[in-house]
Amino acid sequence: MGADGGSIPDRRDLVKTRGKAAVADKAVARERFFNCALSRKRLAKPVVADPLGKLYNKDAMIEYLLDKSAYGDGEQICPYILGVKDLLTLNAQPNPDEGEGKAPFVCWLSLKEMNGAVPFIALRHCGCVFADGALRAVLPNLAKVGDEAVGPTEEASCPNCTKPFHPTSAASVLPIYPSQDVQEVLLATLFATRAAAKANKKRKKEGKEKDGKEKDGKEEKGERASKVAKLKTEASSRSASGSPAPVSNASLAPSVRAQLAEHEKRRQAAKAGMSDAVKAMFHKNDGAKKGDVADFFGRTFNRYATN
Ligand SMILES: [Zn+2]
């Protein structure tokens, strides 16, 4: 072969193909920072991040939570979201430059555009969004996802809103659209937190029963109904007024339980190997369709690429 006149791809062809794919990947990666992963409309406040760091317009997410078929393939994009408590409302600075091709948001510190060119990160306790490098320049001891869990340490203040938090805890940070490796760790954390919360609830209930205060089944049903009503009210008030409803950070911030669960999560994750742990927890706890696991990590931008 080679001198028979057949077509053998040379280096130039290979570079051309790879170059095209790289350009497409880059465009797709960029797109995620501009548009809601569900509605594909341009991101505009209020914006929420899910536990894996994907971005949504809050109204689209509420619509999705009320009707999982509202966006067709929504359940393939974020099947791990169970309710508003899984979401972090972001305090992102709108880009003062609204010109064409400009990203919707910029870093509070460096004013760099959040367009996928450099990594961005949100602080979970307040939702403020920064370029990762700019924030770490101010807070050099800020933890990364996957860091060893550490006990409470001295507090630091958010350099934007000054709300105090523990910078050395990995539970304090949420990277925006991180790599798949980091998304897997975040997903494992989510499921471990849920499992711990469930176990904690069970323990409490058993304790109550011991004291002769059995929980009434009707009461539980009532709780659920009021939750649905609350969600609906929030959504309808938004559409009625045409302006975003006020956002409660308190309801979205990670619970104390989440931090307690973190120790257990890291122990389990290290034991099982991250990918296996993710798969096992995904199927056990979420009842999602089989075969989805590897799929949704890249789901948002795959959709852009194929349409
Ligand atoms: Zn803040």
Long-range interactions of 261-266: CB distance < 8 A, separation 24+: 261/192, 261/193, 261/195, 261/196, 261/197, 262/149, 262/169, 262/170, 262/171, 262/189, 262/192, 262/193, 263/149, 264/192, 264/196, 265/188, 265/189, 265/192, 265/193, 265/196, 266/148, 266/149
Q: 35 CA distance to ligand 1 centroid (A)?
A: 23
DSSP one-letter string for 125-189: TT-BEEEHHHHHHH-TT---TTPPP------EE-TTT--EE-TT-GGGEEEES--HHHHHHHHHH
DSSP state for residue 30 in the 8-state scheme:
H
Residue linked to tokens 């609350």: 230
Cα(291) to ligand 1 centroid in Å equals 38
CA of 142 to the centre of ligand 1 (A): 14
- Cβ pair 81, 87 in contact under 8 A: yes
**pLDDT of the residue at 236:** 41
Give residue 186 CA to ligand 1 midpoint distance, Å.
21
For ligand 1, the distance from its centroid to the CA atom of residue 160, given in whole angstroms, is 5
CA–centroid distance, 120 to ligand 1, in Å, is 14
Q: Alpha-carbon dihedral of residues 48, 54, 57, 62, nearest 10 degrees?
A: -70
Contacting residues for 78 by C-beta, under 8 A, at least 6 apart: 37, 38, 50, 52, 54, 56, 64, 296
| pLDDT tens digits, 109-123 | 999 999 999 999 999
Ligand 1 centre distance from Cα of residue 261 (Å): 24
Per-residue pLDDT at 294 = 45
User: What per-residue confidence (pLDDT) applies to 73?
Assistant: 82
What average pLDDT does this structure show over 210-230?
A: 56
Going by pLDDT thresholds of 50, 70 and 90, the confidence category of residue 20 is confident
Between the CA of 165 and the centroid of ligand 1 the distance, in Å, is: 9
CA distance 284 to 300: 24
Which of 129-143, 195-209, 217-231, 284-298 has the lowest average pLDDT?
284-298
Higher pLDDT, 222 or 203: 203
CA of 60 to the centre of ligand 1 (A): 24
Distance from the alpha carbon of residue 164 to the mean position of ligand 1, in angstroms: 8
- Confidence (pLDDT) at 5: 52
Higher-pLDDT residue of 300, 187: 187
Q: Which is more confidently placed, 240 or 176?
A: 176
Distance 43 CA to ligand 1 centre (A): 20
Q: Cβ distance 114 to 120 under 8 Å?
A: yes
Rounded average pLDDT over 80-102? 94
Confidence of residue 300 (pLDDT cuts 50, 70, 90): low
- Report CA(110)–ligand 1 centroid distance (Å): 15
Query: What pLDDT is attached to residue 105?
Result: 98
* Contact indicator for 156, 120 with CB cutoff of 8 Å: no
Q: For all residues of the chain together, what is the average pLDDT?
A: 76
Residue 206 Cα to ligand 1 midpoint, Å, equals 39
**Alpha-carbon span 204 to 213, nearest angstrom:** 11
Predicted confidence band of residue 215 (pLDDT cuts 50, 70, 90): very low
Ligand 1: distance of its center to the CA of 162 in Å? 6
pLDDT band at 289 (very low <50, low <70, confident <90, very high): very low
Using the mean position of ligand 1's atoms as its centre, give its distance from the Cα of residue 127 in Å.
6
Residue range 44-57, pLDDT digits in tens: 999 999 999 999 99
> Which residue would you say has higher pLDDT here, 193 or 261?
193
Look at residue 8 in the predicted model and tell me its pLDDT.
67
Chain-centre distance for alpha carbon 134: 21
What is the distance in A from the centroid of ligand 1 to the CA of 161? Answer: 4
Q: What does the block give as tokens for 57? A: 């317009």
Answer yes or no: is pLDDT of 201 > 80: yes
